[in-house]
Amino acid sequence: MYLLILVLGIVLLPEASSLNCYECTPPTENCTDIPKTCPLEKNRCASTRLVSYLGASELQNVTGKSCVEPKDCGEHSLNTGLSRDVVSITCCTTNFCNFKPAPAVSPSFQNGKKCYFCDGQTCSNTVNCLGNEYYCMTTTVHTDGQQVTLKGCASTSFCSTTRTALMTRATIGDINCCQGDYCNSESSSTLRCYECIPGPTGTCTETTTQCPSERNRCASTRIVSYLGASELQDVSEKSCVLPELCGQHSLNTGLSRDILNVKCCSTNLCNTQPAPEVVPDGLNGRKCYFCDGKTCSNTVNCLGNEYYCMTTTVYTDGQQPVTMKGCASTGFCSTTPTTQMTRATIGEISCCQGDYCNSASSTSAGLMLLVAPLISLLLS
C-alpha cells in the first residue's frame, strides 16, 4: 500500500524542477517574449546581449531571452583584432525572472595580454587583449565555401566551440587557446600549397608542399619576358612565397623586359587556379638610362608601375660582371624577387626616383651585350 502511494506520488508530482522562462530569439530586432518550459539541464533563465564591433565602430547590438546552462552565464569576449564580439548573459533562477533585457555591455580596457591576429594576408599582426580576454586563440572558420584562419584573444568560455557555433552561422573548428603573450604564433600552423616549378621545357607536375613559416602565402605566378616588342616566353608556376612577392612586378632594361605577376592567397591549397594573364600597360612618364653593352647613356620610357630608375650588376655563368640600368617597380628594388627568378648572381639593386636619376656617369658600361632577359635563366 505504501509502495503504491509512493509510486502514485512520483507520477503525480508536478515538474517542480523544470524552470519556466521567457524566450525571445534574435536576429529579430523586436521579438515577442514567449513562455517556455526549460529542459532540466538548462536551469537558468537568461537575458542575453550580443554586441559586435568592427574596429572601434559598433556593428550590431542584439538582445534575446532563453533558457541556458549555468556555465553560459556571465560576459564572454572573442577578439580577432579586426573585429570583436561580446556576449553578456544575465541569469536568474525563478520562473519568468528574465522579464528585463540584458544590461548594456560595459566598456573594456587593455588587460596586458598580447596575441597575434590575422588580416587575410598575414597572421603576424599583434593585438592588445581587452577585459577578460586572458587567452590567445587560433581557430578555423568555414563560411561560404572558404576556409579562413582566425587568431586573436578570447575569454575562458570561448576556448570551446559551443558558444561560437551558437553565435554564428559559420562552421567553426576547434578553438585552440593558450596562455602567455603571443603563444598563438604564426609558426604554430603551417600552410600547405600547390607547387609546380617548371623545368627547361616549361612544363611541370603539380604537387603539394608544406611551406616554411616565413613563406606564408600560396602563389600562382606568371612570368612573361619580352625582347624588344616581341614576347619571348610566358611561364606559369605555383609555390609558397614571401608576402612581399605578391602583386605585379616589372624590370625593364631597355632591350628586354620581365613582368612577374604573383597572385597570392593565405589558406591551405588555395592556389588552385593559374595566375591571370599580364595586362598590357602604357607609358607612365618616368624616364631612365639603360645600358646596351657599349654605353649606359641610352634612355628608356618606363611602363606601368615602373616608377623607379635602377642600377645593378649581374654575374652569370662565370662571365665578367655586367652593369644593368633601366626601370623597375617597387618589388624589384630589392634582390629578393630577382634572385628567386634567376640562376644569376645579382648584386644589390639600387633604385631612385626622378627622371634619369640612375645617371650614366655613376657606373661604367658593361663589357658584354646582355640582350637575353633575366627570365631566360629561370630556375629549373
The DSSP string of 52-86 is EEETTEEEEEEEEEEEE-GGG-EEEEEE-SSEEEE
Bridge partner list, 35: 22
Q: Are 316 and 345 contacting, i.e. CB atoms less than 8 angstroms apart? A: yes
Q: What is the DSSP letter of 376?
A: G
C-alpha cell at 277: 594573364
pLDDT one-digit tens code per residue, 183-200: 887 654 567 889 988 877
Q: Are 219 and 264 contacting, i.e. CB atoms less than 8 angstroms apart? A: yes
Looking at residue 168, what is its pLDDT?
44
CATH of domain 18-107: 2.10.60.10
Rounded Cα distance between 212 and 97, Å, is 56
Looking at residue 71, what is its pLDDT?
87
Domain boundaries, the chain: 18-107, 110-189, 192-372
* 0.85 exceeded by pTM: no
Stretches where the chain sits below pLDDT 70 are 1-17, 27-30, 142-146, 160-174, 186-190, 213-214, 316-319, 334-347, 360-380
Q: Is the previous residue joined to 26 through a cis bond, with omega within 30 degrees of 0?
A: no
CATH of domain 110-189: 2.10.60.10
For residue 241, count other CB atoms closer than 10 A to its CB: 24
Looking at residue 252, what is its pLDDT?
93
192-372 has the same fold as 18-107: yes
Rounded Cα distance between 329 and 277, Å, is 18
CATH of domain 192-372: 2.10.60.10
CA-to-CA separations, 20 to 34, 39, 100, in angstroms, rounded: 10, 9, 15
